[in-house]
């Protein structure tokens, strides 16, 4: 039987004792009702994980580290998802399921046909919520690392930040033509894979010019038009099956 699992950032560790924040403390003490002396797992979201024994419950849970645990739940492939902005609930789903499917980083981006316009404050609030969703999904799926959800930026700013070494595979899902994905998958494990998924209204001519100018290959997933949230999860699943640890 698995131990209960909780999250605490790296700065929550002092002298071999981890202090959980208010939310995690409430969940441990009031929701799952663990007791002093019980053993739990705590991960810090950066790759470190510990077996701990609960020492106190109030005012916040404190747990003493018993031993480090091996890194678990991380795929051998490093996948970067650049996702055109969608309605909030759809992006929530993409972040949650993308995390479960092993994505390393999530980059929300604005394309020419984006129909969503946010103030700086609302954009920051959404990114904070998405980062929290990624953390919860990483905890549930027993990942050691929480994917970073980056600030919302125009595509012209995001693309130059993507990995650029010769062994990176760059794939752009397009409903306007392209090669079948199976024809563009590299024969061997690439160092990194960058996947770009377009908006609900599709890519504009300008978007496609920018993307191909940055070395992205246009790919299709078949004859049916998939919703943007479906397309993102389908291609991540295929990549994990082909190169990662799915199946």
Kindly list the domain boundaries of the chain, sorted by start residue: 5-69, 79-243
What pLDDT score does 1 carry? 59
Distance CA 77, CA 53 (A): 33
Tell me how far apart the alpha carbons of residues 42 and 8 are, in angstroms, rounded to a whole number: 7
User: Which percentage of the chain shows pLDDT scores above 90?
Assistant: 81
Which CATH number fits the domain 79-243, given the four candidates 3.40.1280.10, 1.10.20.140, 3.40.50.620, 3.60.21.10?
3.40.1280.10
Kindly state the average pLDDT of the residues 35-42: 97
Q: Which of 239, 236, 240 is nearest to 95 (CA)?
A: 236
**Tokens coding 115:** 């129909």
Report the distance separating Cα 132 and Cα 149, nearest Å: 9
Q: Please, which contacts does 204-208 make with residues 24 or more away whose CB atoms are closer than 8 Å?
A: 204/111, 204/112, 204/113, 206/112, 207/111, 207/112, 207/113, 207/155, 208/174, 208/176
The listed CATH number (3.30.390.10, 3.30.1330.10, 1.10.3720.10, 2.40.240.20) that belongs to domain 5-69:
2.40.240.20
What tens digit of pLDDT does each residue of 78-129 get? 999 999 998 778 999 999 999 999 999 999 999 887 767 889 999 999 999 9
Look at the block and give the residue holding tokens 């077996």: 51
pTM of the model: 0.93
**What mean pLDDT comes out for the span 200-221?**
92
Characterise 15 by phi-psi region: left (phi > 0), alpha (psi -120 to 50), beta (else). left
3-state helix vs strand vs coil in the chain, percent to 5: 35, 25, 40
CA 103, distance to chain mean position in Å, is 5
Share of the chain above pLDDT 70, in %: 99
Q: State the angle between helix axes of 88-100 and 228-243 in degrees (0 to 180), rounded to the nearest 10.
A: 10
Q: Is the pLDDT of residue 201 over 90?
A: no
């Amino acid at each position: 039987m698995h131990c209960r699992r909780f999250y605490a950032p790296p700065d929550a560790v002092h002298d071999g004792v981890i202090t959980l924040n208010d939310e995690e403390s409430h969940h441990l003490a009031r929701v799952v009702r663990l007791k002093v002396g019980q053993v739990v797992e705590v991960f810090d979201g950066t790759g470190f994980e510990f077996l701990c024994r609960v020492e106190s419950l109030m005012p916040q849970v404190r747990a003493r580290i018993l031993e480090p645990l091996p890194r678990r739940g991380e795929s051998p492939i490093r996948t970067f998802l650049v996702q055109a902005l969608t309605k909030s609930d759809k992006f929530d789903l993409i972040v949650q399921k993308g995390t479960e499917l092993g994505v390393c980083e999530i980059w929300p981006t604005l394309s020419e046909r984006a129909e969503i316009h946010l103030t700086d404050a609302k954009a920051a609030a959404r990114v904070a919520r998405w980062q929290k969703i990624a953390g919860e999904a990483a905890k549930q799926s027993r990942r050691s690392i929480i994917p970073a959800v980056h600030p919302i930026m125009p595509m012209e700013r995001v693309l130059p930040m993507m990995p650029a070494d010769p062994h990176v595979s760059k794939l752009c899902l397009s409903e306007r033509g392209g090669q079948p994905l199976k024809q563009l998958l590299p024969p061997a494990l690439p160092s990194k894979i960058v996947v770009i998924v377009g908006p609900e209204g599709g890519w504009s001519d300008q978007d496609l010019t920018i993307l191909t100018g940055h070395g992205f290959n246009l790919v299709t997933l078949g004859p049916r038009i998939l919703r943007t949230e479906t397309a993102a999860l389908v291609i991540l699943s295929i990549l994990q099956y082909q190169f990662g640890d799915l199946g």
